[in-house]
Protein backbone atom coordinates (compact mmCIF):
# COMPACT_ATOMS: atom_id res chain seq x y z
CA UNK A 1 0.00 0.00 0.00
CA UNK A 2 2.86 2.38 0.74
CA UNK A 3 4.33 1.78 -2.70
CA UNK A 4 0.98 2.65 -4.25
CA UNK A 5 0.76 5.81 -2.16
CA UNK A 6 4.34 6.69 -3.15
CA UNK A 7 3.40 6.30 -6.83
CA UNK A 8 0.34 8.49 -6.50
CA UNK A 9 1.80 11.14 -4.19
CA UNK A 10 5.28 12.47 -4.89
CA UNK A 11 7.66 11.72 -2.03
CA UNK A 12 11.22 12.47 -1.03
CA UNK A 13 13.54 9.91 0.58
CA UNK A 14 15.12 12.57 2.81
CA UNK A 15 13.93 13.79 6.18
CA UNK A 16 13.48 17.54 6.56
CA UNK A 17 13.16 18.00 10.31
CA UNK A 18 9.63 17.34 11.44
CA UNK A 19 7.99 18.58 8.25
CA UNK A 20 5.43 16.30 6.64
CA UNK A 21 5.59 18.07 3.32
CA UNK A 22 8.22 20.20 1.60
CA UNK A 23 8.36 22.27 -1.56
CA UNK A 24 11.17 21.46 -4.03
CA UNK A 25 11.33 23.29 -7.36
CA UNK A 26 7.72 24.39 -6.94
CA UNK A 27 6.48 20.81 -6.31
CA UNK A 28 5.07 19.62 -3.03
CA UNK A 29 6.68 16.38 -1.81
CA UNK A 30 5.78 14.19 1.15
CA UNK A 31 8.58 13.35 3.56
CA UNK A 32 9.17 9.94 5.16
CA UNK A 33 7.37 11.19 8.30
CA UNK A 34 4.20 11.66 6.24
CA UNK A 35 4.61 8.13 4.90
CA UNK A 36 4.80 6.85 8.49
CA UNK A 37 1.51 8.63 9.24
CA UNK A 38 -0.01 7.05 6.13
CA UNK A 39 1.24 3.59 7.22
CA UNK A 40 -0.28 4.02 10.69
CA UNK A 41 -3.61 5.12 9.21
CA UNK A 42 -3.62 2.14 6.83
CA UNK A 43 -2.94 -0.21 9.75
CA UNK A 44 -5.88 1.31 11.63
CA UNK A 45 -8.16 0.70 8.66
CA UNK A 46 -6.92 -2.89 8.26
CA UNK A 47 -7.51 -3.61 11.96
CA UNK A 48 -11.01 -2.10 11.74
CA UNK A 49 -11.83 -4.20 8.67
CA UNK A 50 -10.68 -7.26 10.58
CA UNK A 51 -13.23 -6.57 13.31
CA UNK A 52 -16.23 -6.42 10.95
CA UNK A 53 -16.81 -10.21 10.87
CA UNK A 54 -16.39 -10.34 14.64
CA UNK A 55 -19.12 -7.76 15.29
CA UNK A 56 -21.42 -9.40 12.72
CA UNK A 57 -20.92 -12.61 14.70
CA UNK A 58 -22.56 -10.87 17.66
CA UNK A 59 -25.24 -8.64 16.16
CA UNK A 60 -26.85 -7.52 12.91
CA UNK A 61 -27.94 -4.15 14.37
CA UNK A 62 -26.50 -1.50 11.98
CA UNK A 63 -25.93 1.11 14.71
CA UNK A 64 -23.92 -1.31 16.85
CA UNK A 65 -21.89 -2.54 13.87
CA UNK A 66 -21.04 1.03 12.83
CA UNK A 67 -20.24 2.13 16.39
CA UNK A 68 -18.05 -0.89 17.08
CA UNK A 69 -16.08 -0.26 13.90
CA UNK A 70 -15.72 3.45 14.66
CA UNK A 71 -14.32 2.59 18.10
CA UNK A 72 -12.10 -0.02 16.48
CA UNK A 73 -10.64 2.66 14.21
CA UNK A 74 -9.97 4.89 17.22
CA UNK A 75 -8.63 2.37 19.67
CA UNK A 76 -7.16 -0.71 18.06
CA UNK A 77 -3.74 0.83 17.48
CA UNK A 78 -3.37 1.51 21.19
CA UNK A 79 -4.66 -1.96 22.02
CA UNK A 80 -2.21 -3.48 19.54
CA UNK A 81 0.76 -1.79 21.23
CA UNK A 82 -0.54 -2.80 24.67
CA UNK A 83 -0.89 -6.43 23.58
CA UNK A 84 2.49 -6.25 21.84
CA UNK A 85 4.07 -5.41 25.18
CA UNK A 86 2.19 -8.21 26.92
CA UNK A 87 2.84 -10.94 24.33
CA UNK A 88 5.97 -12.09 26.12
CA UNK A 89 3.80 -12.91 29.13
CA UNK A 90 0.61 -13.98 27.32
CA UNK A 91 2.11 -16.96 25.48
CA UNK A 92 -1.24 -18.70 24.90
CA UNK A 93 -3.13 -15.61 23.69
CA UNK A 94 -2.67 -16.46 20.01
CA UNK A 95 -4.24 -19.89 20.59
CA UNK A 96 -7.18 -18.32 22.42
CA UNK A 97 -7.74 -15.75 19.68
CA UNK A 98 -7.63 -18.50 17.05
CA UNK A 99 -10.29 -20.40 19.01
CA UNK A 100 -12.46 -17.28 19.26
CA UNK A 101 -12.15 -16.60 15.52
CA UNK A 102 -13.06 -20.22 14.76
CA UNK A 103 -16.12 -19.93 17.04
CA UNK A 104 -17.21 -16.70 15.32
CA UNK A 105 -16.74 -18.38 11.93
CA UNK A 106 -19.00 -21.25 13.02
CA UNK A 107 -21.55 -18.73 14.29
CA UNK A 108 -21.50 -16.83 10.97
CA UNK A 109 -21.98 -20.08 9.03
CA UNK A 110 -24.85 -21.04 11.34
CA UNK A 111 -26.46 -17.64 10.77
CA UNK A 112 -26.10 -17.97 6.99
CA UNK A 113 -27.64 -21.46 7.06
CA UNK A 114 -30.31 -20.62 9.63
CA UNK A 115 -32.66 -23.26 8.20
CA UNK A 116 -30.18 -26.10 8.82
CA UNK A 117 -28.25 -25.08 11.95
CA UNK A 118 -29.57 -23.79 15.26
CA UNK A 119 -28.86 -20.16 16.05
CA UNK A 120 -26.19 -19.35 18.64
CA UNK A 121 -27.53 -16.69 21.02
CA UNK A 122 -25.57 -13.51 21.78
CA UNK A 123 -25.21 -14.37 25.49
CA UNK A 124 -23.55 -17.67 24.58
CA UNK A 125 -21.18 -15.93 22.16
CA UNK A 126 -20.10 -13.41 24.77
CA UNK A 127 -19.72 -16.15 27.38
CA UNK A 128 -17.50 -18.21 25.06
CA UNK A 129 -15.36 -15.18 24.17
CA UNK A 130 -14.90 -14.06 27.78
CA UNK A 131 -14.23 -17.61 28.99
CA UNK A 132 -11.59 -18.28 26.34
CA UNK A 133 -9.88 -14.94 26.97
CA UNK A 134 -9.89 -15.48 30.73
CA UNK A 135 -8.62 -19.06 30.44
CA UNK A 136 -5.79 -18.18 28.06
CA UNK A 137 -4.79 -15.17 30.17
CA UNK A 138 -4.71 -17.20 33.40
CA UNK A 139 -2.83 -20.09 31.76
CA UNK A 140 -0.35 -17.68 30.16
CA UNK A 141 0.32 -15.79 33.39
CA UNK A 142 0.79 -19.07 35.27
CA UNK A 143 3.22 -20.32 32.61
CA UNK A 144 5.22 -17.08 32.59
CA UNK A 145 5.32 -17.03 36.41
CA UNK A 146 6.61 -20.62 36.38
CA UNK A 147 9.29 -19.69 33.82
CA UNK A 148 10.36 -16.61 35.83
CA UNK A 149 10.57 -18.71 39.02
CA UNK A 150 12.75 -21.28 37.24
CA UNK A 151 14.98 -18.52 35.84
CA UNK A 152 15.35 -16.94 39.29
CA UNK A 153 16.19 -20.31 40.89
CA UNK A 154 18.76 -21.09 38.19
CA UNK A 155 20.44 -17.70 38.49
CA UNK A 156 20.48 -17.91 42.30
CA UNK A 157 22.11 -21.35 42.20
CA UNK A 158 24.56 -20.30 39.50
CA UNK A 159 23.61 -23.16 37.20
CA UNK A 160 23.01 -22.81 33.52
CA UNK A 161 19.43 -23.74 32.65
CA UNK A 162 18.92 -26.63 30.24
CA UNK A 163 17.80 -25.81 26.72
CA UNK A 164 14.12 -24.86 26.84
CA UNK A 165 11.66 -25.71 24.08
CA UNK A 166 10.23 -22.70 22.30
CA UNK A 167 6.87 -21.80 23.91
CA UNK A 168 3.68 -21.44 21.86
CA UNK A 169 3.85 -18.39 19.66
CA UNK A 170 7.55 -18.91 18.91
CA UNK A 171 8.75 -16.31 21.40
CA UNK A 172 11.47 -17.03 23.89
CA UNK A 173 11.59 -15.49 27.35
Q: What is the pLDDT of residues 63-88, one digit of tens each?
A: 877 777 777 776 666 666 676 777 77
Report d(CA 80, CA 110) in Å as an integer.
30
Give the mean pLDDT of 145-150.
79
Task: Read off the DSSP letter of residue 21.
Answer: E
Which residues are within 8 A (CB) of 125 and not within 5 positions of it... i.e. 6 or more apart?
57, 58, 103, 104, 107
Q: Which three-class secondary structure state does DSSP give residue 155?
A: helix
pTM for the structure as a whole: 0.50
Interhelix angle for 32-56 vs 62-86, to 10°? 120
- As beta bridge partners, residue 30 has 11, 21
- For residue range 105-143, list pLDDT tens digits in order: 888 888 888 888 888 888 999 999 999 999 999 999 898
Amino acid sequence: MLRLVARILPTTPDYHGTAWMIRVAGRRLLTPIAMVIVAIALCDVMFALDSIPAIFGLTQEPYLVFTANAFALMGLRQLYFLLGGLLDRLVYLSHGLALILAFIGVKLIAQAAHDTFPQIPVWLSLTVILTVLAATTIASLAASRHTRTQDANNSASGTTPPAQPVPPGGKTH
